[in-house]
A and B are shown apart, each in its own frame.
Chain A
Amino acid sequence: MLGLNKRDFRLLIIVLLLTLGTPFLLQPFAEGTELAKFNAGYPDLMQRIAIFGIFAMGFNILFGLTGYLSFGHAAFLGVGSYSAVWMFKLLSMNVIPAILLAMITAGLFSLVIGYISLRRSGIYFSILTLAFAQMSFALAYSVLTPITNGETGLQLALSDPRILDPVNNTGSLPLTNIFGLEMNAAVKIEMLGRLYTFSVGYYFSAAIALLAFYVSLRIFRSPFGLMLRAIKSNQQRLSYTGLSTRPYTLAAFVISGIYAGLAGGLMASMDPLAGAERMQWTASGEVVIMSILGGVGTLMGPVLGAGAIKYLENIFSKINESVLQSWFAFLPDGLENTVVWVFSRFTGDGWPLTLGLLFMLVVTFLPGGLVEGGQRIAKLFKRDKVKPDGENNDEDGAKHKPEPTPRVDE
C-alpha cells in the first residue's frame, strides 16, 4: 500500500501509532511523585523532538546514504526559520505559506552551497560546508542585522503589515495558526493521576514528520536511493563505469537541505522567533551527533537520536542540586553531600557530560546506534527463528561492513 511493500507498510503504521501515542508514552509517571520530573510529555518538547527528527531524517539522506558528512546543515535550518518568520511578518500568520517559503529558500540555498562544496569529497567537503555555515552565521549575527535583527533574533511586532490577515486591534501579537486553528491550542486530560496534553502544535508537527518519514522511506527504497548507496560504498568505481555521480550527490544534498528548511520553518511556526545561534556550527554538530547516536543510515535512528538528545537537554538539565538534595535527604549528611556532588556533575548544568558518556558508549559498543541496540534486544527474543538472509537486510544497513574512510584523493 502507498507504494510500499508489506514490511515497510508495517513500519509506517508502527511509526504512525508511536507519533499518535507520544503524549501518553512520554508521560509515564504520576503527577506529584518525584519521578514526575522525568516526564517529557509537554507540547514544547514533543514538538522539538518531532522537528529535530525531521532535521535528522533529512541529514541522514545525505550522510547515511551517500556518506558525505556535512557540517553545515544548521545553516539551512536557520535560513528556513528566517524565511518563515518573514512570512509571518509580511504575509499571514498561517503556517502553510511560511513553511513552503522556508523549504524553497533552504532548497535554493543548499543548491548554491552544494554546487560548490560537492566539488570535493571527504574531509574537504566537510570543511567547506562548515565554512559556509559559519559564514552564514556571521552574516546573520551582525552584517545582515537589518534582515535578521542580529543577536536579538527576528521577532514579530505589532506594527508588521501581515497583508492577508484581518487588522489586529487587540494590542497583543497574533498567534501562528493553520486556517484559524492556533498552534498552541491544547486539551489537557487527567487520567490515572497523569496529566496528558494534546496540542495542535504537536500533532501538526507530527503529521508533517510522518509525511517526511514516508518520503524518506520511499527515497531509501528507490533506485535513486540505491545509487546514493553505491556512491557511499565506492564512488570511484561508480565513476569508472561512466556515471557522473555529482547530479546524484547534489540532489541528495538539496533534498536534505529542504528537509532542514522544513524543520526550520516548523520551528518558527511553533515559536515565531529566528535567532542566529540556530546556524552556529554547534547546531550543525548536534545533528551529526543525533544521527550517529541513533544509527546512521537507518530510517528510525536519527529520530531516536533526536529524541534522546532533546530529552537530555530539557529534562536532565533541570535536575539541579536542590532537587538532588531532596532525593538523597535520607542519607547521612557527609555521604549525602558526596552523593549529591557526584550526581550533580551529570545532571543540571552537567547534562552534556551525560550526553558525552552516552555517545561514547554507543559509538564503542553499538556502532549501529540505538537502533542496533534495539535489534540486539529483539534478537535475544527471536533466537529460535532462523530467518533466511533475504531482502530484509537493507532495511537499516546495520549489517553493512564498516565503511572505508572517505577518500580525499579524487
Chain B
Amino acid sequence: MSRLIMNRRGLLKSGAAVGAGLAMPTVFAGSAAAQSYTNEPTGASVTLGFNVPQSGPYADEGADELRAYELAVEHLNGEGDGGMMNTFSSKALSGSGILGKKVEYVTGDTQTKSDAARASARSMIEKDGAVMITGGSSSGVAVAVQALCQEAGVIFMAGLTHSNDTTGKDKKANGFRHFFNSYMSGAALAPVLNNAYGADRKAYHLTADYNWGYTTEQAVRESTEAMGWETVAAVKTPLTQTDFSSYITPVLNSGADVLVLNHYGANMVNSLTNAVQFGLREAQANGKNFEIVVPLYSRLMAKGAGSNVAGIFGSTNWHWSLSDEGSKAFVQSFGTKYGFPPSQAAHTCYVQALLYADACERAGTFNPCGVVEALEGFEFDGMGNGPTLYRAGDHQCFKDVLVVKGKENPENEFDLLEIVEVTPAAQVTYPVDHPQFAGGELGDCNPGA
C-alpha cells in the first residue's frame, strides 16, 4: 500500500520527468524529406495496393476484384494476352510494367469496415511503400480510404462504390471513380420504367437505412417524379434486417403499384424474395399489374435471389454479355484464366488499374499530382463502356449506363441478366454542382512528403 506524497522534491523530480517526456517528440520533428512525393519508387519495381473485402458480407465481390487486379498486373507486365490493353484508345502502355518498372502488388482485407480498411491501407502505404491504393466494395469504405489517401499523398482508384457522396460531398483531389452512381441509376432507369409501366404510377420505397440507401432513394425518387410518378411512401429498413415481411405487408394496401427496393447485397436478396413470396408480382393495384424495381443490380445478387429476379428492372455498370471489342477482350482473358465470366466489380477494378498505369505513362511520373493532371478531363474508349470522360470537376467517369432485366429463362448461373437498354452518357450527365452532389470540395492534389 502506498500513497502519493507530494513534497517539493517529489514535485520537482516528477516535473522534470514529465518535461523531458513532453520534449522528446520534438527531437523527431525534422522529417527526412528525401523523396519528392510519398513512396517514390526508386528500385526496379513499383508497388500497388489492392485493398478489397476478403471477409464479411462482400467477400465474393472482393474475391472477384482481386482476380481482376491480378489479371491487370499480368497484362501490365506483358504476360497473358493483354486483355483490354489492346482495345484501349490510349496506346501509352507497352506491357513492360509502368514507366519501365515491374508492377508488384500487396493485398489487404477491408472487412467492409472503414477502420479496418484504413488500417490496411495505411500499412500498405507506410510498410509496403504502395504508391496507389485501389479497390473496395462499399461506399463507406471508399469514402474513408479516399480521405486517407488524400491525406497521405497517394492516388486512390475507387472500386465498387455507387453512392453519390464518393464523388459528391466527399470527393477528394487524389481520388477517382470509374463506377457509376445513384444519380446515374435513377436517370437511366426512369425513361425505361416510363416506357414499360407508364407515367401514371405510384411508388413505394423500401430503403436501407444508411448513406447509400438515402442517395439512391433520392436519385430514383427525383428521376421518377420528374416523369410524373408519385411517391406514396418511403420506409427505411435497418441494414441488419433479414426478414422483410413486416415491411412488405403494408405495401399492398398503401395505394402504391410499384415497389422500389433501395437495397444492396443480402438485403436485396431477402427483401425481393419476401416480396415475391407475398405475391406482389401477381397482385393488381389501381387497375394495373404490381411491379418491383431494384435500382442497383449485381450478378452476385441476382444469383442469390434466383428465379425471383425474372423480369425485374435495374441498372448496372457493365455486363459480360456486352459485345464491344473491349468487353469481349476482357471476358476472353478473364475466362481463360479463371474459367468463368467477370462481374461488374471485376470490370471496374481492372479498368481502374489500367487507367492508373496509363495516366502514369502519359504523365511520365508516379507523382500523384502528375497523375491527377493526366486523368482529369481524360477521354478514352475501348474499355467496355463506350466513349468515356474522366471529368475534371469531380473525378467521376461519365459513360453509358446499362438498364438490365432479370432473365426469364437463364441458361446458366452466370447468365442471369439481360440488357434492356444502353443509356447514352449524355442522358446521365449532370452538372458538378447538382444538388444531389452539393457540398464538399475537391481541394488540391496532395503529393505527400
Contact B115 A349 (CB under 8 A): no
- Contact of A39 with B144 in the complex, beta carbons under 8 Å: no
Q: How far is A317 from B107 in the complex, measured between Cα atoms in Å?
A: 9
Residues of A within 8 A of B147 (CB): 155-156, 173, 273
A185 touches B118 (CB 8 A): no
Q: Is the CB of A3 within 8 A of B126?
A: no
Within 8 A of B (CB), among A100-158: 138, 141-142, 145, 149-153, 155-158
Q: Does B321 contact A (CB under 8 A)?
A: no
Contacts of B250 in A (CB 8 A): none
- Contact: B122 with A271, CB < 8 Å? yes
- Residues of the A chain whose Cβ atoms lie less than 8 Å from the Cβ of B114: 152-153, 273, 275, 277
Q: Does A332 contact B (CB under 8 A)?
A: no
Residue of A43, A187, A277, A317 touching B126 (CB-CB under 8 A)? A43
Within 8 Å of chain A (Cβ to Cβ): is B4?
yes
Q: Does A405 contact B (CB under 8 A)?
A: no
A338 in the interface (beta carbon within 8 A):
no
The answer to whether B123 touches A318 (Cβ under 8 A) is yes
A402 contacts B by Cβ under 8 Å: no
Measured CA separation A42–B378 after assembly (Å): 36
Provided the pairs A141-B239, A181-B26, A275-B115 are in contact, do residues A44 and B3 lie with their beta carbons within 8 angstroms? no
What is the bound-complex CA distance between A200 and B25, given in angstroms? 6
Q: With A1-B13, A48-B119, A203-B25 known to touch, is A172 a contact of B446 (CB < 8 Å)?
A: yes
Question: Are the C-beta atoms of A273 and B25 separated by less than 8 Å?
Answer: no
Given contact pairs A275-B140, A352-B55, A173 touches B113 in the complex (Cβ within 8 A)? no
Asked if B28 and A152 make an inter-chain contact with CB atoms under 8 angstroms apart, the answer reads no
A23-B139 Cα distance, complex, nearest whole Å: 34
Give the residue of A155, A159, A198 whose beta carbon is less than 8 angstroms from that of B144.
Answer: A155
The answer, among A1, A172, A271, A314, for a CB contact under 8 Å with B443, is A172
Q: Give complex CA distance A173, B115 in Å.
A: 19
Binary CB contact string for chain B from 106 to 131 against chain A (1 if under 8 A, 0 otherwise): 11110001111011101100111000
A171 located at the interface, meaning its Cβ lies under 8 Å from any Cβ of chain B in the complex? yes
With CB as the reference atom, state the residue of chain B lying closest to A225: B1
B203 to chain A, nearest CB (A): 22
Contact A152 B5 (CB under 8 A): no
Please, which residues of chain B bring their CB within 8 A of the CB of A155?
Answer: 143-144, 147, 170
Bound CA span A211–B164, Å: 44
- Bound-state CA distance A158–B150 (Å) is 12
* Contact partners of B120 in chain A: CB under 8 A: 314, 317-318
How far, in angstroms, from A349 to B113 measured CA to CA in the complex?
15
A400 is an interface residue with CB less than 8 A from chain B: no
**B435 lies within 8 A of chain A by Cβ:** no
Using A3-B3, A152-B170 as known contacts, say yes or no to A314 and B119 having CB atoms under 8 A apart. Answer: yes
In the bound complex, do residue B126 and residue A42 qualify as a contact, i.e. CB atoms below 8 Å apart?
Answer: yes
Most buried by B among A39, A187, A275: A275
Alpha-carbon separation in the docked complex, A275 to B148 (Å):
13
A42 to chain B: which residues have CB within 8 Å? 123, 126-127
- Is B4 in contact with A158, judged by CB distance below 8 angstroms? no
Write the A259-276 contact mask toward B (1 if CB under 8 angstroms, else 0): 000000000000101010
Q: Which residues of A contact B152 (CB under 8 A)?
A: 184
CB atoms of A273 and B118 under 8 A apart = yes
B437 to chain A, nearest CB (A): 14
**In the assembled complex, B433 has its CB within 8 A of some CB on chain A:** no
In the complex, which of the residues A44, A152, A157 contacts B139, with contact meaning CB atoms closer than 8 Å? Answer: A152
B287 at the interface (CB under 8 A from A): no
Judge whether A275 and B113 touch: CB under 8 Å. yes
- Max count, chain A CB within 10 A of own CB: residue among B32, B127, B446: B127
Contact of B143 with A3 in the complex, beta carbons under 8 Å: no
Which residues from chain B contact A1 at a C-beta distance below 8 Å?
13
**Chain B nearest CB, measured from A34 CB (Å):** 14
CA distance A278 to B113 in the complex (A): 9
> Per-residue 0/1 for B135-154: is the Cβ within 8 Å of any A Cβ (1 yes, 0 no)?
00011100110011011100
Q: Which A residues are CB-close (under 8 A) to B25? A: 178, 181, 200, 203-204, 207
Residue B24 interfacial (CB < 8 Å):
yes
Known contacts A150-B210, A218-B4, A275-B115; is-contact A186 B31 (Cβ 8 Å): yes
Q: Is the CB of A151 within 8 A of B212?
A: yes
Instruction: Say if the beta carbon of A385 comes within 8 Å of chain B.
Output: no
**Size category of the binding interface on chain A:** 35 or more
Q: Please measure, in the bound complex, the distance between the C-alpha atom of A298 and the C-alpha atom of B4, giving whole angstroms.
A: 22
* Complex contacts, A4 vs chain B, CB 8 Å: 2
Query: Which residues of chain A come closer than 8 Å to B108, judged between CB atoms?
Result: 317-318
Contact B150 A153 (CB under 8 A): no
* B429 at the A interface (CB under 8 A): no
Say how far A47's CB is from chain B's closest CB, in angstroms: 9
Check B54–A349 contact: CB distance below 8 A. yes
B339 interface residue (CB < 8 Å to A): no
Minimum CB distance partner of B124 in chain A: A318
A185 to B443, CA, bound (A): 22
Q: Which of A311-351 contact B (CB under 8 A)?
A: 313-314, 317-318, 320, 322, 348-349
B21 at interface, CB cutoff 8 A: yes
B29: Cβ under 8 A from any A Cβ: yes
Closest B residue, CB atoms, query A46: B126
- Chain A residues, Cβ within 8 Å of B163: 152
Cβ distance B3 to chain A, nearest Cβ, rounded Å = 7
Are A141 and B28 neighbours in the complex by a CB distance under 8 Å? no
A188 at the interface (CB under 8 A from B): yes
Contact, CB under 8 Å: A142 / B144: no
Over the window 171-183 of chain A, the binary record of Cβ atoms lying under 8 Å from chain B Cβ atoms (1 yes, 0 no) is 1110100100100
Q: Which residues of chain A from 193 to 213 have any CB-CB distance to chain B below 8 Å in the complex?
A: 197-200, 203-204, 207, 210
CB-CB contacts of B16-44 with A at 8 A, as 1s and 0s? Answer: 00000110111011111000000000000
Contact with B29, one of A2, A45, A151, A200 (Cβ below 8 angstroms): A200
B236 at the binding interface (Cβ < 8 Å):
yes
- Interface-centre pick from A151, A188, A318 (highest chain B CB count, 10 A): A151
CB distance from B210 to the nearest CB of A (A): 4
Bound CA–CA A155/B120 (angstroms): 18
The answer on a CB contact under 8 Å between A2 and B115 is: no
Asked whether A152 lies within 8 Å of B127 as measured between CB atoms, the reply is no
Q: Report Cα–Cα, A158/B143, bound state, in Å.
A: 15
Q: Are A142 and B55 in contact, CB atoms less than 8 angstroms apart?
A: no
Distance between A329 CB and nearest chain B CB, rounded to angstroms: 16
Contacts of B70 in A (CB 8 A): 322
- Bound Cα distance A2, B60 (Å): 55
Whether A185 and B28, one on each chain, are in contact in the complex, defined by CB atoms closer than 8 angstroms, is yes
Query: How near does chain A come to B137, taking the closest CB pair, in angstroms?
Result: 13
Q: B28, B107, B211: which contacts A151 (Cβ < 8 A)?
A: B211
In angstroms, Cα B114 to Cα A275, docked, is: 6
Interface string of B147-188 (1 = CB under 8 A from A): 110111000000000010100001001000000000000000
B residues less than 8 Å from A393 (CB atoms): none
Shortest Cβ distance from residue A299 to the other chain B in the assembled complex, whole angstroms: 15
Query: Does chain A have a CB within 8 A of B440?
Result: yes
Given contact pairs A4-B2, A43-B126, A185-B29, a sample of 10 additional A-B residue pairs in the complex whose CB atoms are under 8 Å apart? A5-B2, A141-B209, A149-B211, A173-B147, A173-B151, A185-B31, A187-B31, A275-B140, A318-B106, A318-B108
| 24 A-B residue pairs with CB within 8 Å | A2-B10, A4-B2, A145-B211, A151-B139, A151-B211, A152-B170, A153-B143, A158-B443, A184-B152, A185-B31, A186-B31, A187-B28, A207-B22, A273-B115, A275-B113, A275-B114, A313-B116, A313-B119, A314-B123, A317-B54, A317-B108, A318-B120, A348-B109, A349-B59
Across the A-B interface, give the 5 residue pairs with the lowest CB-CB distance, nearest first.
A171-B444, A349-B54, A275-B114, A151-B210, A44-B122
